[in-house]
Amino acid sequence: MSGGWVTHADQARWQLQAARELAAILAGCGGLPLLSWTVIPAGPLLEARLTGPAPASQVRAALAAWRRALDLADYREWAGGGGTTRLHASGQHGEVRVRIFASVFEEDR
């Protein structure tokens, strides 16, 4: 990268790198709960969301399993709108940043 500018070639390389890392993650974590993954051509970056309504304990357990499997050290919870708690785990997996998001509905607690 020259002059501090991010080029199309940089973004294409990052996207491919993130996609390859995602393939490796999925190959090694087949028994874990399913996530909805997004490959982002910035940095490189993978983002995932736990989808569908589920009891709070099940959501927390699924996120904890993924955190352990990917060794994601950063974990946060905060109050969201509409009576929800937002969960976020992130870290580095290989050369790719990984973020996983989930929501817990308070009435499920």
* Per-residue model confidence as pLDDT tens digits over 67-98: 999 999 999 999 877 888 999 999 999 999 99
Of the CA atoms within 13 Å of residue 61, those in its CB half-sphere come to 7
pLDDT at residue number 108 = 44
50 has a pLDDT exceeding 80: yes
φ, ψ (nearest 5 deg) of residue 46: -120, 135
Span 18-23, average pLDDT: 96
Fold of 8-108: Beta Polymerase; domain 2 (3.30.460)
Residue spans of the domains in the chain: they are: 8-108
pLDDT for 84 equals 87
